[in-house]
């Protein structure tokens, strides 16, 4: 692995990608089903911002916008912190590369490829730090497949280096709401075990007769979900069924499958709603559908100014205490405020620590309530496989 910056992506679909391994563990047929299907388009502006951040990392922040420069600075800081934890001298003497394209060969052909967004290798070559970037914004970040994605990158790095090192890997999400980084360590034995497990699922994934397994975890973000026959068969079966009567006759395993299918159908319905709304807003016509006008919403943008105006008009009735009773405090906003204050005091302050501190400080004036329970999948048959390495 040579030192330098190679910011080029190749993803032609000729073999699975490291980011696909987790989904293949859940549904081995997902890769073959997605062949010929275009990738899921990124939301407007995300692609351009992602490339701007990559440019900042490769060539400096000159000419970059504030958001991209801030994301690049955060990524660099996290990479420095990882290197400080792994290498005794930090980045001194460490060979680095960006945008490293990696591949795994088996039986004379390429069976897996992946992109290591940042790689740091010590002088002895015994330890490697590898980072993968995830550009999901807001609360869209989903880290349930991080373990397998990083395990795949560790396997690919071992093939690139020609030997099996100790690998410290992490996924960095600069635009997520909670940006805490959870590094994963793979000893050489872990990398070997991961290689065997990944090769096993890849052998099944390329078979023409491999079936698709419908589940929310497997189908979330899958490019083939719009053409998957297994999903369509399931939806059609339930759409014409007497659900209450059929439900009593189902074994527990089928009930779990029905639950997963319902979750997927909700997601499909939401995407269809969004497409219809976008088309009507753009001036298009869909016979039988109309977009109703939005309601006017009134809200207070500045609470302190609102208190000043109301207390001046009704001084005997609008006191600070009575006004405060009318206000709702956003705990999430307070968490961000407290965390920003703690980061000024200590750059290593964690989001979790800020959350705990806020709750301790506000214990005398807060209350704890429990919401209604919601359905969720737990361990057992068909549960999403965590990375065991």
Q: Could you report the per-residue pLDDT of 104-133, keeping only the tens digit for each?
A: 988 888 999 999 999 999 888 889 999 999
CA distance 189 to 87: 21
Q: In this model, does residue 140 exceed pLDDT 60? A: no
* Dihedral Cα 254, 260, 266, 268, nearest 10 deg: -100
Q: In this model, does residue 141 exceed pLDDT 90? A: no
CA angle 240-242-243, nearest 5°? 105
Q: In this model, does residue 269 exceed pLDDT 70? A: yes
Give the residue with greater pLDDT, 60 vs 136.
136
For the ranges 72-86, 162-176, 217-231, 271-285, the lowest mean pLDDT is seen at 217-231
Q: What is the pLDDT of residue 380?
A: 57
Q: In this model, does residue 39 exceed pLDDT 80? A: no
Q: In this model, does residue 272 exceed pLDDT 50? A: yes
Q: What is the pLDDT of residue 383?
A: 60
Q: What is the pLDDT of residue 175?
A: 85
Sign of CA dihedral 327, 332, 338, 341: negative
Q: Could you report the per-residue pLDDT of 326-361, keeping only the tens digit for each?
A: 998 889 889 989 988 998 888 778 888 899 999 999
Give the residue with greater pLDDT, 54 vs 190.
190
Average pLDDT over residues 243-256: 83
| pLDDT, the chain, mean | 83
Q: In this model, does residue 2 exceed pLDDT 60? A: no
Across the beta sheet with 127-133, the strand order is 4-5, 95-106, 109-121, 127-133, 166-172, 184-186
Q: In this model, does residue 6 exceed pLDDT 60? A: no
Q: In this model, does residue 195 exceed pLDDT 80? A: yes
- If one counts every other C-beta atom within 10 angstroms of the C-beta of residue 260, the result is 20
CA distance 98 to 105: 22
Residue 12 DSSP code: -
- DSSP letters, 262-280, are HHHHHHHHHHHHHHHHHHH
pTM: 0.69
Residue 9: which pLDDT band, with cuts at 50, 70 and 90? very low
Q: Could you report the per-residue pLDDT of 211-227, keeping only the tens digit for each?
A: 888 776 777 777 787 77
Give the residue with greater pLDDT, 94 vs 42.
94
Q: What is the pLDDT of residue 11?
A: 47
């Amino acid at each position: 692995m040579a030192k330098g910056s190679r910011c080029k992506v190749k993803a032609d679909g000729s073999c699975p990608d490291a980011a696909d391994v987790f989904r293949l563990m859940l549904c081995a047929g997902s890769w073959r089903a997605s062949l010929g299907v275009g990738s899921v388009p990124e939301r407007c502006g995300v692609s351009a911002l992602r490339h701007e951040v990559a440019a900042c990392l490769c060539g400096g922040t000159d000419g970059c916008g504030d958001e991209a420069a801030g994301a690049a600075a955060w990524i660099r800081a996290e990479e420095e912190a990882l290197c400080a934890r792994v290498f005794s001298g930090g980045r001194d003497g460490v060979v680095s590369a960006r945008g490293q394209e990696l591949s795994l060969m088996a039986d004379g052909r390429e069976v897996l490829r992946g992109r290591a967004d940042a790689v740091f290798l010590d002088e002895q070559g015994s330890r490697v730090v590898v980072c993968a970037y995830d550009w999901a914004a807001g609360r869209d970040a989903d880290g349930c497949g991080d373990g397998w994605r990083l395990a795949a990158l560790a396997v690919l790095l071992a093939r690139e280096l020609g030997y099996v090192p100790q690998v410290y890997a992490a996924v960095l999400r600069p635009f997520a709401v909670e940006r805490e980084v959870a590094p994963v360590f793979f000893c050489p034995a872990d990398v070997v075990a991961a290689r065997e497990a990944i090769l096993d699922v890849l052998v099944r994934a390329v078979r023409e007769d491999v079936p698709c397994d419908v589940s929310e975890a497997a189908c979330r973000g899958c490019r083939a979900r719009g053409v998957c026959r297994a999903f369509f068969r399931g939806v059609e079966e339930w759409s014409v069924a007497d659900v209450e009567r059929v439900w009593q006759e189902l074994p527990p395993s089928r009930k779990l499958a029905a639950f997963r299918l319902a979750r997927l159908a909700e997601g499909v319905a939401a995407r269809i709603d969004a497409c219809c709304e976008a088309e009507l807003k753009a001036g298009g016509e869909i016979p039988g559908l109309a977009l109703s006008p939005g309601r006017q919403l009134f809200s207070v943008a500045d609470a302190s100014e609102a208190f000043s105006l109301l207390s001046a008009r009704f001084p005997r009735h609008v006191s600070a205490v009575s006004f405060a009773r009318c206000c709702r405090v956003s705990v999430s906003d307070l968490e961000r405020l407290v965390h920003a204050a703690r980061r000024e005091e200590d750059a290593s302050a964690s989001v979790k620590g800020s959350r705990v501190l806020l709750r301790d400080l506000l214990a005398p004036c807060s209350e704890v309530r429990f919401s209604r329970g919601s359905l969720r999948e737990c361990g057992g048959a068909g549960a999403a496989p965590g990375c065991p390495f």
